[in-house]
Amino acid sequence: MFVKDYMTRHPVMIDPTMSIVEAQGIMSETRVRHLPVVEGGKRLVGLITRERMRIPPTELASLNVWEITRFLSNLTAKDLMIKGENVITINPGATLEEAATVMVEQRIGCLPVLEEDIVIGIITEIDMLIQLAALLGGGVPGVRATVRMPNKKGEVAKAVSAIAAQGWGIYASGGVFAPKNPDFWDCVIKVRDVPKEKLAEVLSGIEGQELLDVREVS
């Protein structure tokens, strides 16, 4: 799972000279929240986000009604954008979790993807959420079980082999440390074409593991 496979290629981009009114129009027309600002051959020079569009009330208060229009119409992308070196970017070969970590640490919603300094795509929190849902088999009907297991080697294998022994197939799975309980590991397993009760029976029979939840999903 690399950034280059999940980013949006050909993101909507604008020139630094574009008026902010027009940029706003593009944002609402295309329903995007981030506009990389590029120059000469898609070289990144900045980034405009919805937040950047908000004019601080202190600044507005000093203007009268007539001045606001003029103030806005003179504003260009260059004036409002996050400037070049301050834009946090990522390379296409990075993994999705690396991208997610950067976004969390920096509290930002998007990362322009650069190859050298040319913008080739953009990856946003929405892309991350889509892949999170996909990782856990979102939207595919089946039976979903959550198993709490000790944080030890071979525990996942136990659950997997119990399922495999029945001739069933796992179509999605994922695990995280149990909330507030780092000695345990919560694992979600999704199995297709089995009755809920039979899966529950098989999984609850594994020694040392606890079946937290089992349900049918669609």
Partner 1 sequence: MTTHRMQSPVLKLEDVAISYETRYGDIEAVRSVSFEVPRATTFGIVGESGCGKSTVAFGIVDFLGANGKIVGGSIKFQGRELVGRSQAELRKLRGDQISMVYQDPMQALNPSVRIGEQLAEVLTVHRGISKDEAWQKSIDMLQRVYMPDAANVMGRYPHQISGGQQQRVVIAMALLNNPALLIMDEPTTALDVTVEAAVLDLIEDLKRDFETAIVYITHNLGVVARVCNYVGVMYAGEMVETAAIEDVYGKPQHPYTQGLMRCVPKLGTTKESSRLYPIRGRVPAPKDRPKGACIFAPRCDYVTDKCQNERPLLREIRPKHSARCFYSEQIDAGTWQPPKGLVPELASEVEQERQEPILQIKGLKTYYEQESKSMLSLVGMGEKQYVKAVDGISLQVPPGKTLGVVGESGCGKSTLAKTIIGLETPSNGSAEFLGFDIAQGVSERDQQLIQELQMVFQNPDSTMNPSYSVGHQISRPLQRFKTVPSNQVREEVIRLLHAVRLDGSYYDRLPRQLSGGEKQRVGIARAFASRPDLVLCDEPVSALDVSVQAAVLNLLLEIQREHGTTMLFIAHDLSVVRFFSDYVAVMYLGHIVEMGPAEAIYAPPYHPYTEALLSAVPIPDPTVAQKHIRLEGTVPSAMHPPSGCTFHTRCPRRAMLPDGGKICETQEPPWRYNTEEHRIYCHIPLEELREMEPVVTTG
100 lies in the binding site for partner 1 (CB under 8 A): no
- Can you tell me which of 1, 118, 132, 157 binds partner 1, judged by CB under 8 A? 118
Contacts of 28 (CB under 8 A, 6+ apart): none
- Can you tell me which of 21, 60, 132, 140 binds partner 1, judged by CB under 8 A? 140
26 lies in the binding site for partner 1 (CB under 8 A): yes
53 lies in the binding site for partner 1 (CB under 8 A): no
CB of 91 to partner 1, least distance (A): 16
Q: Are 182 and 176 in contact (CB under 8 A)?
A: no
Closer by beta carbon to partner 1, 27 or else 214: 27
Burial of 20 (0-12, 13-18, 19+ CB in 10 A): buried
C-alpha distances in angstroms, 173 versus 96, 122, 150, 162? 17, 27, 17, 15
Residue 60's CB is within 10 A of a number of other CB atoms, namely 12
Burial of 113 (0-12, 13-18, 19+ CB in 10 A): buried
139 lies in the binding site for partner 1 (CB under 8 A): yes
Closer by beta carbon to partner 1, 39 or else 98: 39
User: In the complex, which residues of this chain contact partner 1 (CB under 8 A)?
Assistant: 8-10, 12-15, 22, 25-27, 29-32, 38, 40-43, 118, 120, 126-127, 130, 133-134, 137-140
